[in-house]
Structure 1
Amino acid sequence: MKVIKNYLYNAGYQILLMIVPVITVPYVSRVLGPKASGINSYTNSWVTFFAMFAQLGIILYGNREIAYHRDNRKERSVCFWEIEALQLMTTTTSLIVYLLCVYLFSSTFKEYFIYQSLWILGAGVDISWYFMGLEDFKKTVTRNSVVKIISIILTFILIKNSQQLSDYILLLGFAQLVGNLTLWPYLRNSISKVPLSSLRPFSHFYPALWLFIPTITTQVYVVVNRLMLGKMSSQNSLGEFDYADKIVKLVLAVVTSIGTVMLPHVANSFANGNKEAVRNGLYKSFEFVTSVSIPLMFGIMAISKKFAPWFLGNAYKETGNIMIFESFIIVFIAWSSVTGTQYLIPVKRVHEYTISVTVGALINILLNFVLIKFYGAIGAAITTSISELIVAMVQLFYVKKDIKLTVLFKSTWKYIISGLVLFIIVRVICNHIRMTIISLCFEVLIGIIVYLLGLIMLKAPILVELRKILTLKNN
């Protein structure tokens, strides 16, 4: 039940993250105006890059290591202070390099770049990985949600015109920093004091770096996607692809949030030598993400053509077509989140995980040269889907000696058939009624009912697991 509760906490937060842009973007874009919004986006994209180096894969690594040692308070305490000491050192280094770059190379927007540095400071005191390792997602999710809601309220109260860009940047930066600091008081009863002389923070540097490499590789090919599309096609195509990508990945986050929850659970089972629990957890998790990701994929395909111009504006009709081709990644990334985040990383097979991501990145770049040239933004979407499929296939190849692939995919056809029926019915409805918030909710409800009926008729295994959970809850 703990895993289920943690998933619901995490999935709930991902849904909040989906709702926030719907609430704030229309207001902020109008109040700040295109120029100020562009400056914020530009300066924040650079600081995000440095903040990523400040954390150096520690979110994943710290999560896993705390899970390994969580049953021994002394070992857990040493582990925490060593990793946090390393995080403070990498953050300090990143901040110094960032500020040097700002003073040496930035002739414009220097003030805004300096204000954005609060995000790097926030990264240095982020200890959410510790509570994730303990499988205590309630604290991190509740904290993040409260901070997010307060920052939204303050945005509406304090930000009134384009001259307040500095205030807006400082507001978001302080929200991140203060939000991360609010977790520290919870440490008092969880860890012990450790002599400084006994700490060996650099022993964690290379393992954390190995987890950082696939992270930065993924970020690089996401950026390269956009750079190649902007260079080989038009800026309009880039904008259309960018929004399609964001919408699809917002939906995807609801599925992949299970990976963050399962990582410490699997890592702890692995540390205790319970390999059978690791395998069973993987089978159940794969069944779950397959059963959820397939209807989400077909659902987006069914409504995207009408949803995109309704939500974004008539200028974004092509975004709907792009979403259809990119929606496949919801399933492929869901699968790789199980084999990669929930298996290869917890059982210390990071090298294989890195290879899979690197192969996907190389395939992505090579295919872009061909598909973007002939098909523009749709070509970039097809490339993204193919590269994510390759990542999943490579990871499946690496786990096939430990995990039976026939068991993993035994019931997948049931979810695909139910999803196809969902797609046909919702697509027909969508084509015959005007897109409104009410009709959208109606189509989602019909899709859920149709899909569940399909699972019941085909006796999908996920229903058995759901029945077990409900029985346990009632008892």
Structure 2
Amino acid sequence: MSVAKNYFYNVIYQIVILIVPLITVPYVSRVLGSGGVGVNAYTNSIIQYFILFGTIGISLYGNRSIAYVRDDKRKLSRTFWGIFLLKIMTVIISYMVFMIFMNFTHSEYKTIFLFQSIFIISAAVDISWLFMGLEDFQKTVTRNLMVKVIGVICIFLFVKTISDLWKYVLILACSELFGQLTLWFYAPKVIDKVKLSLYDIKRHLMPSISLFIPQIATQIYLVLNKTMLGALSNTNEVGYFDMSDKITKMSLSVVTAMGVVMLPRVANTFAKGDMKKVKDYLSKSFDFASYLSVPMMFGLVGISAEFTPWFFGPGFSKTGTLICVISPVIVFIAWSNVLGIQYMMPVGKVKQFTISVTTGAVVNFILNILLIRNFQSLGTALATVFAEFSVTAVQFYLVRKDIQFKHMFVDIWKYLISGVIMFVIVRLIGSDLGVGFKTTVTQIIAGGLAYVIILCLFRSSMNKKLIEVVLRKVKIVKS
């Protein structure tokens, strides 16, 4: 299946991820309030540590390993079962540690923690890495679409008051588990049953652990933010930050969808020894990431003042400020996704990738300690921005001898100027129309059109390619 088609499927899913929160977040934030939202975010952040230690980098390793052997069904089957059984063992150990944690903790959220632990079980049976390594994104997208729709319906049916927080958590957790189980219906078509020795399982342990180390570091500044904020501040502040983080990551998901698609493709190309093609993929992917992430950053800052009040409802005014502060991470993560996930990981530069994300984790941890007590969620937002910047900066430094950056930054000035002009237009519309749903829709449409038109004037090659693709699709539909 082509990169374009895989990206199309992944973007469909990412668009659904965008739409689902647009439907549920305004409802959930009003029903559960910042406190309820904060409790969910705080307890889930702790559960993520058990998932992280249970999966020890196996999913990422599995994706890459399947891509290496996908042309040989016997090797593919042996690799799959070896990796899967290893993960079952490590997740069981992690769940046992979780039960010990539950026995000794005196948290008021014990029931919520138990429902959140279903996510650990989901991680054990997750085989999405198999289909990603095979570049079969249609199955994972179809499964996720179905699960998301069912989840949304259940939230509106059963979550009515703040006392229904446990129902909200249970719906999210069961939806995840159900989604993972449905993928097993497709597995027999691509893998065979094979006899395994202990070696077939053990041989995947150390390579998985080598990918586990950077995932620990990444998790620190993705999840520890909320854990530290909850511990050093309060769950209301976690709620404010969680909502701003969700909106930013929703926007970013369309950009990082390319990373999920490109990792197995680059890994397979690297396995064949075609480094020229690997670098060509990298250059095009980086330009595409810049093309999308720059306007998203400016656009998010531009709409936040009029968007936050109607979307989140009363009590979330601070979230608008946090969105403005945290929005630069869209560009930083887009770039580090290309350099780290699409290049460093597939070509085996795991050590360099580990250094970059460990740097980000250290920066994030130190700044959280220094800033949270005085600035609360604003401090966490600032720590996140500096952490993501440091990850990207270190990655640029570490791959400087492998890649010619001048080819990747040829059109960046065009994106920045177009983004600034788009921001001015969006702010003028917001100031004139005021708070409201229609204002936000008008700002997004006008801003998007302005960005594309200005890039046409600048003769952006990426802009031209994408317009041509859209026009071809329109002609096909009409015919």
TM-score (norm 2): 0.90
Query: Which moved further from structure 2: 233-242 or 170-179?
Result: 233-242
Which residue type is aligned with residue 346 of structure 2?
P
Write the distance in 1 (CA, Å) between the matches of 2:229 and 2:52. Answer: 24
Partner Cα separation in structure 2 for residue 85 and residue 205 of structure 1: 11
State the match for 1:388 in structure 2: 388
* Letter aligned with residue 276 of structure 1: K
CA shift at 1:465, angstroms? 3.2
Q: Which amino acid aligns with 1:124?
A: A
Structure 1 equivalent of residue 50 of structure 2: 50
**1:333-385 deviations in whole A, cap 9, x for unaligned?**
10000000000001111110010011122223334455557766444433322
Partner residue in 1 for 2:196: 196
> 1:196 Cα deviation (Å)?
2.1
- 2:126 partner SS: coil
- What CA distance in whole angstroms lies between the structure 2 residues aligned with 1:176 and 1:231? 27
Q: What is the match of residue 307 of structure 2?
A: 307
Q: Report the equivalent of 1:129.
A: 129
- The residue number in structure 1 matching 2:421 is 421
Secondary structure of 1:403 counterpart: coil
The residue number in structure 1 matching 2:406 is 406
1:307: Cα distance to partner? 1.9
| Cα 1:169/1:297, change in 2 over 3 Å | closer
Deviations 1:17-56 (A, max 9, x none): 2332333345456667888766655544433331232222
Task: Report the more deviating stretch, 34-43 or 113-122.
Answer: 34-43
Counterparts of 1:117 and 1:229 in 2: how far apart (Å)?
Answer: 21
Task: Measure how far apart 1:195 and its partner are.
Answer: 1.1
Cα pair 1:99 1:114 within 8 Å, conserved: no
3-state DSSP of counterpart to 1:410: coil
Query: Residue 185 of structure 2 aligns to which amino acid in structure 1?
Result: P
Aligned 1:63-462 pairs, distance under 5 A: 63-106=63-106, 110-159=110-159, 168-197=168-197, 200-226=200-226, 239-313=239-313, 315-368=315-368, 377-462=377-462
Query: Are the aligned partners of 1:303 and 1:430 in contact in 2 as well (CA < 8 Å)?
Result: yes
1:149–1:263 distance in 2 versus 1, CA, 3 Å: same
Distance 1:8 1:385 in 2: 29
- C-alpha contact 2:45 2:223 (8 A) present in aligned 1: no
- The alignment partner of 2:203 has SS state of helix
Q: Report Cα offsets for 1:308-334 as digits up to 9, x if no partner.
A: 233223544343233222211111110
**How far, CA to CA, are the matches of 1:100 and 1:255 in structure 2?**
39
1:81 Cα shift?
Answer: 0.7
Indicate the RMSD between aligned Cα atoms, in angstroms.
2.9
Inter-partner Cα distance in structure 1 for 2:43 and 2:374: 33
Change (3 A) 1:228 1:53: closer
Describe the shift of the 1:139–1:152 C-alpha distance in structure 2 as closer, same or farther (beyond 3 A): same
Q: Structure 1's 290 and 28: CA in aligned 2 closer, same or farther, altered over 3 A?
A: closer
- In structure 2, do the counterparts of structure 1 residues 155 and 135 end up closer, same or farther at CA, with 3 Å as the change threshold? same
Structure 1 range deviating more: 421-430 or 16-25: 16-25
Bigger mean CA deviation after superposition, 243-252 or 287-296: 243-252
Question: C-alpha separation between the residues in 2 aligned to 1:33 and 1:156?
Answer: 15
CA distance in 1, matches of 2:400, 2:253: 26
Whether the aligned pair in 1 keeps the contact of 2:38 and 2:236 (CA below 8 Å) is no
**Distance change >3 Å, CA 233–CA 108, structure 1 → 2:** closer
Q: Which moved more, 1:414-423 or 1:225-234?
A: 225-234
Between 1:186-195 and 1:343-352, the stretch displaced more is 186-195
In 2 relative to 1, CA 374–46 (structure 1 residues): closer, same or farther, beyond 3 Å?
closer
Question: CA offset at residue 260 of structure 1?
Answer: 0.8
Amino acid at match of 1:465: K
For the residues of structure 2 that align with 1:191 and 1:232, how far apart are their CA atoms? Answer: 48
Amino acid at match of 1:357: V
Report the CA distance between 1:471 and its aligned residue: 8.1
What is the alpha-carbon distance in structure 2 between the residues aligned to residue 190 and residue 405 of structure 1?
39
Amino acid aligned to 1:352: Q
Q: 1:181 corresponds to which letter in structure 2?
A: L
CA distance in 2, matches of 1:17, 1:151: 12
CA distance in 2, matches of 1:185, 1:135: 17
Equivalent-residue separation in structure 2 for 1:46 and 1:395 (angstroms): 28
Whole-Å Cα distance in 2 between the matches of residues 122 and 228 of structure 1?
25
Q: Are 1:47 and 1:117, in contact at CA under 8 Å, matched by a contact in 2?
A: yes
Q: Deviations over 1:237-295 (max 9, x none)?
A: 55443432222122112211211111111111001111111100000000100000000
Instruction: Give the distance between the partners of 1:36 and 1:372, measured in 2 at CA.
Output: 20
Distance 1:311 1:373 in 2: 28
SS in 2 for 1:182: helix
Seen in structure 2, the aligned counterparts of structure 1 residues 302 and 175 have a Cα distance that, compared at 3 Å, is closer
SS at match of 2:197: helix
| CA-CA distance at 1:130 after TM superposition | 0.3
2:400 corresponds to which letter in structure 1?
K
AA aligned to 2:254 is V
Q: Aligned letter for 1:363?
A: V
Alpha carbons of 1:114 and 1:427: their partners in 2 closer, same or farther (altered >3 Å)?
Answer: closer
Higher relative contact order, chain-length normalized (CA < 8 Å, sep 6+): 2
Distance in 2 separating the partners of 1:37 and 1:359: 30
- Please say if residues 38 and 238 of structure 2, whose CA atoms lie closer than 8 Å, have aligned partners that are also in contact: no
For residue 4 of structure 1, what is the amino acid of its counterpart? Answer: A
Write out per-residue CA displacement over residues 112-157 of structure 1, whole angstroms, 9 at most, x where no aligned residue. Answer: 5444432222111110000000111110011011012112223333
Quick one: structure 1 residues 193 and 232, their matched pair in 2 at CA, closer, same or farther if it must change by over 3 Å? closer
Confirm or deny: 8 A CA contact 1:430 1:443 kept in the other structure: yes
- For residue 71 of structure 1, give the secondary structure of its aligned residue in structure 2: coil
Instruction: Output the CA distance in 1 between the equivalents of 2:298 and 2:156.
Output: 36
Q: 1:243 to 1:272 in 2, by over 3 A?
A: same
Instruction: Specify the code of the residue in structure 2 equivalent to 1:286.
Output: F
Paired residues in the alignment total: 475
Structure 1 gap ranges (5+): none
The answer to which of 356-365 and 410-419 deviates more is 356-365
* Correspondence list, 1:2-17, <5 A: 2-17=2-17
Q: Which moved more, 1:41-50 or 1:370-379?
A: 370-379
